[in-house]
Structure 1
Amino acid sequence: MAQQLALLLPEKHGEYTVGPRPIPTPGPGDVLIEVHAAGLNGIDNYIRLVGAFIDAYPAVTGHEGVGVVKAVGKDVRDIMEGDRVLFECWFSADRGTYQQYSLADARGVTKIPDSLSFDDAATLPVSFATAAVGLYAPKSKRGGAGLTPFWEDGGRGKYASEPIVILGGSSCVGQLTIQLAKLSGFNPIISTCSTHNIDYVKQAGATHVIDYKETSYADLPAAIARITSKPCRLVYDAISTEETQKTGWSILAPNGSICVLLPPHVGKYGEEAEDGKRTVYVFGNVNDPEHQNSGFGSVVAKTLEKLLAEGTIRPTRVEVVPGGLHGIQTGLERLMTGKVSGAKLIVHPQ
């Protein structure tokens, strides 16, 4: 069986090591992708340290990538060998992206235009899905805020003149959330970041940007009240520390939703509080069984394909971590210690 190189996690709580493993064969509905770039995510630290999501070892982590389709399984219709694609994966060794070849469910694969580089495309899979799931997935334990998606009839511009607050607008998820909020018509789009990222956040579509180093989170509700007197029924917290969540909750109007990316410190997860406020704990993966079974995951993947073809969606800033697979551990340590700002870390596995 043909071999490849992969970043292997030999055991629960173990240390990553680069070694050989077989190149998998796509089954029905799957495609085999030669991975040209893989995005780094903090969840991979969580997987290694806690053992979450992994049922068997040695494991291969990494759950987003871009590359070229090398083989297609039975019943795959709209993806062909040679297609340039971006994708998310689910949690099994054959589907991890910290390796040279990965399997992916064709339903969640997005074709990318020739004008988009692999490096730029690698900033999008998780960030776009996390923004889209948080805003538009139906309300449920693993769902979203339940907004009418901009891609549906009457959805584009539907929320005109309604404010939205996006905490952490220079983060990858923050950048994509701003862009989707603009397509949905939100105005004003109020975001936070540090001074050196203000122009970057405005370029994404924020109408008002507040420097969190000059305006503390404790003072943020008053700063927002000076921008708009309208009730804010949606806060997207792309930082999701205890401090930012509590601030977001205080900004949120009754019957509104706050989207968070880390374990909730506010509200009743999956339930509405007495005043109708709801905490949405976002899991941005189009392959989540709930999103695949409902068809929502596939719609998100194909919507991104259309937006990229139109040039409507902008990738985020990107930083290539040197060393290929050998550099992943260093990159993950930077993520864990907060030493990344306003850029997506990626590696080249080949």
Structure 2
Amino acid sequence: MKAVIVPEVKAAWELHERPVPEPGPKEVLVRIHACAICGTDLWLAHGVLSFREFPLLMGHEGVGEVVAVGAGVTERKVGDRVGMPMMQKRCGACAFCREEHPNSFVTAGNCANPTLTGVNVDGAFAEYLATDVGGTVLLPDGLSYEDAAPTLCAGYTVWAGIRRADARPGARVAVVGLGGIGHFAVQFAKAVGYHVIVVTRTPDKHELARELGADDVVADGAALEEIGGADVILHTSSSHAAVIDAMTGLRPWGKVVLMGIGLDDLAIPALSLTTHSHQIIGSAHNGLEYLSEALDIVASGRVKPMTELFAVEQANDAYEKAAAGEVRFKAVVTFGLDS
């Protein structure tokens, strides 16, 4: 099979031939149709995060069709259309797993030996992937593989964060940042009836923000406060400083949901946090039920991922454009199959 390999830190992505894996007990073999590039992939490729030695076969936003099932598999059958999010399998034996938590990023971060697709085991930047059946989710009928792939992580993250915020109907929701995660956040928040405000200092994104559904677009927290503030701030930016600035416009009892990760320090304004009873919520993938909901919303047409498609032979071009911030907003590697 063709597989996209990262041979060493910051190296060009290469197309190699590798054997097709065999599905073991409780595993399925998936023929990959598409896999999106996530910011985490870039961090792994650049050595910012490290979970195993190079060379790497990454990819945790993969979608495709089940073509074989291993012994004991009853949950999936040949022909099922599935996605493979990062959290594939918990170890089941450590103290955390004995508490019987569902698959989520919290499990990924606390299980003693989790299996993470495309992170500490091979991922979906290949024509085939063998994965634990519990690390798959069914795709809705009518949802293209190209739209499903970026929903597996970026869309999942956003929708799980919105659900964690648990804002009242019609609440004012501010999205800080308008990138791979942010463009999902604007659309998901609008799809469920919130008043959506985009906070961005990039003038050429203002028109796009409104096209995606934003009711208002402002440059900073002072401007957010001036137009009435927000009940929820969705942190989708790579800059913590931008979010802290936006908190100037956070209403009393408001919530900040961290789903973007910056490399700068997160300096919380303690006095306003206390006097306004603000909440800071960390949120990533909060359970597969939220991924299923996100996929259903995208399948309904209320949310449309903005993607740029690259054939597998162009995987390095996709990587370089994504690393340079030149993709609006998700690079998706495809494997030459119909959707």
Place the TM-score, normalised by the shorter chain, in its bin.
Answer: 0.7 to 0.9
Alpha-carbon distance between aligned partners in 2 of 1:250 and 1:266, rounded to the nearest angstrom? 15
Q: Is contact 2:165–2:257 with CA below 8 Å preserved after alignment?
A: no
Give 2:58's aligned residue: 61
Q: Is contact 1:95–1:104 with CA below 8 Å preserved after alignment?
A: no
1:204-215 paired onto structure 2 within 5 Å? 204-210=212-218
Equivalent in 126, 134, 159 of residue 99 of structure 1: 126
Q: CA deviation at 1:75?
A: 4.6
Q: CA deviation at 1:40?
A: 1.4
Query: Helix, strand or coil: the match of 2:237?
Result: coil
Give 1:347's aligned residue: 333
Q: CA deviation at 1:346?
A: 1.1
Alpha-carbon distance between aligned partners in 2 of 1:308 and 1:320, rounded to the nearest angstrom? 18
1:42-81 paired onto structure 2 within 5 Å? 42-50=39-47, 52-81=49-78
Give 1:121's aligned residue: 148
Give 2:110's aligned residue: none
Counterpart check, 1:233 vs 2:231: yes
Q: CA deviation at 1:201?
A: 3.4
Give 1:140's aligned residue: none
Give 1:319's aligned residue: 308
Query: Helix, strand or coil: the match of 1:165?
Result: strand
Alpha-carbon distance between aligned partners in 2 of 1:64 and 1:304, rounded to the nearest angstrom? 14
Query: Helix, strand or coil: the match of 2:130?
Result: strand
Q: Is contact 1:257–1:280 with CA below 8 Å preserved after alignment?
A: yes
Q: Is contact 1:221–1:247 with CA below 8 Å preserved after alignment?
A: yes
Q: CA deviation at 1:118?
A: 2.2
1:1-350 paired onto structure 2 within 5 Å? 4-11=1-8, 15-50=12-47, 52-89=49-86, 90-92=117-119, 95-136=122-163, 146-148=164-166, 159-169=168-178, 171-186=179-194, 188-192=195-199, 198=206, 200-210=208-218, 217=219, 220-228=220-228, 232-255=230-253, 256-263=255-262, 265-267=265-267, 274-275=274-275, 276-282=277-283, 284=284, 286=285, 296-308=286-298, 311=300, 313-321=302-310, 324-340=311-327, 342-350=328-336
Alpha-carbon distance between aligned partners in 1 of 2:225 and 2:329, rounded to the nearest angstrom? 30
Alpha-carbon distance between aligned partners in 2 of 1:74 and 1:192, rounded to the nearest angstrom? 51
Distance 1:134 1:257, change over 3 A: same
Query: Helix, strand or coil: the match of 1:239?
Result: coil
Query: Helix, strand or coil: the match of 2:165?
Result: coil
Q: Is contact 2:298–2:304 with CA below 8 Å preserved after alignment?
A: no
Percent identity over the alignment? 23
Q: CA deviation at 1:32?
A: 1.9
Query: Helix, strand or coil: the match of 1:55?
Result: coil
Distance 1:180 1:314, change over 3 A: closer
Query: Helix, strand or coil: the match of 2:153?
Result: helix
**Unmatched tracts of structure 1, length 5 or more:** 137-145, 149-157, 211-216, 287-295
Distance 1:315 1:12, change over 3 A: same
Query: Helix, strand or coil: the match of 2:288?
Result: helix
Give CA-to-partner distance per residue, 1:158-179, whole Å, 9 cap, x none. Answer: 612421101234x332232233
Count the aligned residue pairs: 300
**Unmatched tracts of structure 2, length 5 or more:** 87-116
Matching residue's letter, 2:215: T
Give 2:101's aligned residue: none
CA RMSD of aligned residues (A): 3.2
TM-score, length-scaled by structure 2: 0.75
Matching residue's letter, 2:287: G
Query: Helix, strand or coil: the match of 1:172?
Result: coil
Alpha-carbon distance between aligned partners in 2 of 1:182 and 1:207, rounded to the nearest angstrom? 9
Query: Which has the higher mean CA deviation after the structures are superposed, 7-16 or 64-73?
Result: 7-16
Q: CA deviation at 1:131?
A: 0.3
Query: Helix, strand or coil: the match of 1:345?
Result: strand
